[in-house]
Structure 1
Amino acid sequence: MSEEKELKPWVKPALEFGPVLLFFIAYGRLKEQQFTFGGEVYEGFVVATALFIPLLVASTLILWKLTGHLSKMQLMTLVLVVGFGGLTVWLNDGSFFKMKPTILYLFFAGALGFGLLRGKSYMQVMMDSALPLTDEGWMALTKRMALLFLGLAVTNELVWRMLTEDTWVKFKTFGMPVIMFGFFMLQSGLISKYSTEEDES
């Protein structure tokens, strides 16, 4: 099995977050407009979604080409974006794309919870052991991640169902990444406590 190729630090975040940022920009420019294709009228949100799908596919393929590797989370995200984004465009209904984060986070919360019940950390598998943690550390982090994913799923549902479309787009583009970043910053104590780096040195 080939090892993941190293990239410059900015390349992977740019490929992962770039399509999301471009979706936000496209939505901002198109949200007040309507477009007619084949006799069907499409709102700007649906058109922005239609543009986002090939962008994400292209960026994911580029990332795979550059690294020779894709994580399970990246693959699952790609499948759901193509599936739910495709339904949004096909049925001309933006609710499918808005539900995508809920389904994704519920899937991960359920998978992690199932692993915990079996005494295993699927988080360690999903992250390809990217963090140098003991088995006990992975179990503790997995419990926290399962709760985080569950919380994000519930929050996404509340935001898209109860607030405006603009609010959801901003939450999806900036709110969720900030929450994830903040969560991992708060895990510094756990990572330090269960780190295996000293054992390997």
Structure 2
Amino acid sequence: MLWLFSAIEELAPVLAFFVVQHYYSFTAGLMAMTLLVVVLLALSYGLGRAVPRFAVISTIFFLFFSVPSILTGNSTYFQVSDTILDGVFAVLLLGSRVLGFPVLKFLFERVFAITDEAWQILSLRWGLLFVLLAVLNEIFRQGFSVDVWAQYKLVSTIGILVFGCYQFTLSARMRIRAESNRLGLRV
């Protein structure tokens, strides 16, 4: 059941942004998204869930880019954040894989009980995905209108969720049995 709340945490803010932005403005959509991100993180913490480090870190970076866009009314700050963050995540994940210390393990070891080999494979997969997302974001940011970029943002978020769900096949196969359920999630 926790996976459902996690999916809602990821998708609901982007859906709120997309809908509000479509009917009102980019800034209004971003304000709705920002409010929802903060409320969902606080709700998760308030319900006693172990909030993954990644959720906290990504929320901080999200606020770092969304607040200037809200204050100035300039969408560029927020739009370019996906390129910057996806690029940074790609470098961190692929670089940490090369160095033999997968950053994903540090970020998610409280959630998943999987082997070191699985962490290495996941680092490669997610690193390559983030490279692709950074490139696509720049194509849509520079080549299309804000409305089309917002549609891309929604589709890419759904794609990330589907990709993430597919990774459960690996975590289930390469889990540490004594410490996890059948999906590799810690018990």
TM-score (norm 2): 0.82
Cα distance in 2 between the residues matched to 1:200 and 1:67: 19
Are the structure 2 counterparts of residues 95 and 74 from structure 1 closer, same or farther at C-alpha, using a change threshold of 3 Å? Answer: same
> Where does structure 1 lack aligned partners over 5 or more consecutive residues?
1-6, 31-43
Report the counterpart of residue 14 of structure 2 in structure 1. 20
Report the counterpart of residue 66 of structure 1 in structure 2. 47
Are the structure 2 counterparts of residues 151 and 187 from structure 1 closer, same or farther at C-alpha, using a change threshold of 3 Å? Answer: farther
Q: Which has the higher contact order (CA 8 A, sep 6+)?
A: 2
Deviation at 1:86, TM superposition (A): 0.9
Deviation at 1:198, TM superposition (A): 8.3
Would you say how many aligned residue pairs link Structure 1 and Structure 2? 181
Deviation at 1:191, TM superposition (A): 4.2
CA contact (8 A) 2:13 2:32 kept: no
Runs of 4+ in 1 over 6 A off after TM superposition: 198-201
Deviation at 1:63, TM superposition (A): 1.1
Aligned pairs (5 A) from 1:62-141: 62-128=43-109, 130-141=111-122
Cα distance in 1 between the residues matched to 2:179 and 2:32: 48
Deviation at 1:152, TM superposition (A): 1.0
Cα distance in 1 between the residues matched to 2:161 and 2:19: 22
Question: Aligned pair 1:196/2:176, yes or no?
Answer: yes
Deviation at 1:168, TM superposition (A): 1.3
CA RMSD of aligned residues (A): 2.6
> Where does structure 2 lack aligned partners over 5 or more consecutive residues?
182-187
Are the structure 2 counterparts of residues 192 and 166 from structure 1 closer, same or farther at C-alpha, using a change threshold of 3 Å? Answer: same
Cα distance in 2 between the residues matched to 1:126 and 1:52: 24
CA contact (8 A) 1:19 1:52 kept: yes
TM-score (norm 1): 0.77
Report the counterpart of residue 139 of structure 2 in structure 1. 158
The percent of aligned pairs where both chains have the same amino acid is 21
Cα distance in 1 between the residues matched to 2:148 and 2:87: 21
SS for the counterpart of 1:67 is coil
Cα distance in 1 between the residues matched to 2:3 and 2:92: 29
Are the structure 2 counterparts of residues 192 and 116 from structure 1 closer, same or farther at C-alpha, using a change threshold of 3 Å? Answer: same
Cα distance in 1 between the residues matched to 2:157 and 2:90: 16
The AA in structure 1 aligned to 2:57 is M
Bigger radius of gyration: 1
The AA in structure 2 aligned to 1:101 is D
More helix by share: 2
